[in-house]
Amino acid sequence: MQEHVSLVYDIVHPPQAERDALYFWRQMALVATPESAPPRIPVPAALRPALSLFEAASEGSVNGGPSVPSAGALYPYEHFAIVGGPDDPAVFAVDVARRTCRLLYDREQVAQALERGGIALPGPDAYLILTVVRPWLSMRKYDDRGYLYAQLDAAHLGAHLLCLGSRSHHRAEWLTRAATAPLAELFGLGDRCRFLHSVLLLDGPAHARTPSPSTQAWSCTDERHMSPGAPPGDLPEGQSWRRLAVYRQEPPVRSAAVRRGALMPGSRDEPDRRCRPGGAELAARAVRRRSAKEFAAGDLPARALQDALTALATPLTTDLPPSDGFGATLVARRVVGLIPGTYPVLGGEIAAEPTGTAVADDDDIVRMCMGQEHLRHTCAAVVFHARHQEIFGLGMAGVEQALLRAGALAHLLCLSATDTGIAITTIGGFDAGRWHALAGIPGENEVLYVALLGVTGASAVKLDRLQRAYAHDER
């Protein structure tokens, strides 16, 4: 009888372990989209030029889109397109991987946000591409360092889109200091732990507007009246965002002026034509761009290295101000025609004489790159750096501007190295103090980014893109 009572009790009042398991099982359950899904609508004709740009940005990858940040990866960034001209603007969220777009906002509310920010659509053919960063996607793997990676990778992407836009449009401007707070507020980005990184203004298509066959596969839904979803709240992403918000600064209250010029100090106003973005040859470089998986033992010719570095003098149309305190230093290890040592790079030109002869053996290179063994046979490195005052004098806004400049220049270098046949990869996981000492950088400077060049190896696996954080010494 006692045994029967116990059995009944267990059925009516299951043990705690069973209740816990049932609760967690329900937490893991998935729920399909409700039947009241947003209505499908035709893809607007005004949106197709923006979709064509995204299609072009995805060319060259076996996976349908650049998967390596230094190749201008579209993921994990979110994108919005504002089209329709000044009289009928509309905002679409664009998912390049799924080939879908969602109409979110239109007309007066969009026009007001643009007007408050001083961001204008100059004509009916003009449109804006907005890149949005979700820091958690990087910081959950790399902790605080992940914020630096997110900024550098977004700079690569911005430069990638700018170069492609320059090819297909008469006007292409990369706005990195625009007054985007009204747009961010309209989109509810802060509530969803995101921020607007930059805006690309495109106008005057270089060719007649004919729909690209590749854009015919896109679909569109009307989600103007849909809820954006619950914010992360006390989940890890929400906690990380609130801690980050202490350091981040609000966007400018007034958009900055645009100018065309090189981002690298010491560049001539009119460098060699082959350096300029926007030509057919640059589009070909973007398609063929690959990040080196491994360097093989060997040497680089100095002439090819110099040809690659000329890309640092490429003029871009941006709102970034001149920065005399920014610099790049070449660390030559195995370069035929150059004495091993360190050379300032001024306007894309290698200095005639080394300023230092410090060398690092293969083990040193691996150690300075946080145990990344595939970089052992690096032939040369370009170290991007800037003065403390220029980085930190403006708070986090100065940090972000410095990283954007370094990332954009590194992207141009990647494209140029591809054209010269040099293997290249960029790393954000490095010992800044050791690189500072090796490159002989002045003490008031901070290392921002490092690009490594060498001879292509045989490996097909890029360790620092795997799940483990190899660049942080994780084994």
- pLDDT at position 275, please? 43
Q: Please report, rounded to a whole number, the percentage of residues in the chain having pLDDT higher than 90.
A: 65
Q: Which residues contact 6 (CB under 8 A, 6 or more apart)?
A: none
CATH number of 40-256: 3.40.109
pLDDT of residue 233: 77
124, 205 contact by CB (below 8 A): no
CA distance 387 to 231: 38
- Give the pLDDT confidence score for residue 291 in this predicted structure: 80
d(CA 415, CA 167): 15
Are 54 and 94 in contact by the 8 Å Cβ rule? The answer is yes
What average pLDDT does the structure give for the chain? 87
Distances (CA, A) of 319 to 86, 163, 202, 404, 447: 22, 15, 14, 12, 23
pLDDT of residue 70: 61
* Measured distance CA(195)–CA(424) in Å, rounded: 30
> What is the Cα Rg of the chain in Å?
25
pLDDT for position 285: 78
Phi, psi of 344 (to 5 degrees): -60, 145
Q: Can you state the angle between helices 48-58 and 145-168, rounded to 10 degrees?
A: 120
pLDDT band at 86 (very low <50, low <70, confident <90, very high): confident
Q: State both tokens at 361.
A: 């053996």
pLDDT at residue number 231: 78
Token pair listed for 303: 């002439």
Residue 461 has a pLDDT of 53
CA 279 to chain centre: 22
CATH 3.40.109.10 matches 262-472: yes
- Answer yes or no: are the C-beta atoms of 127 and 50 closer than 8 Å: yes
Q: CB–CB of 376/364 below 8 Å?
A: no
b/e per residue 293-327 (b: at least 16 CB within 10 A): bbbeeeebbeebbbbbbbbbbbbbbbbbeebebbb
Write the CB contacts of 87 (distance below 8 Å, at least 6 apart in sequence). Answer: 124
Question: Which residues belong to CATH 3.40.109.10 in the chain?
Answer: 262-472
Tell me how many helices (H) and strands (E) the chain has.
14, 19
CA 374, CA 425: separation in Å to the nearest integer? 11
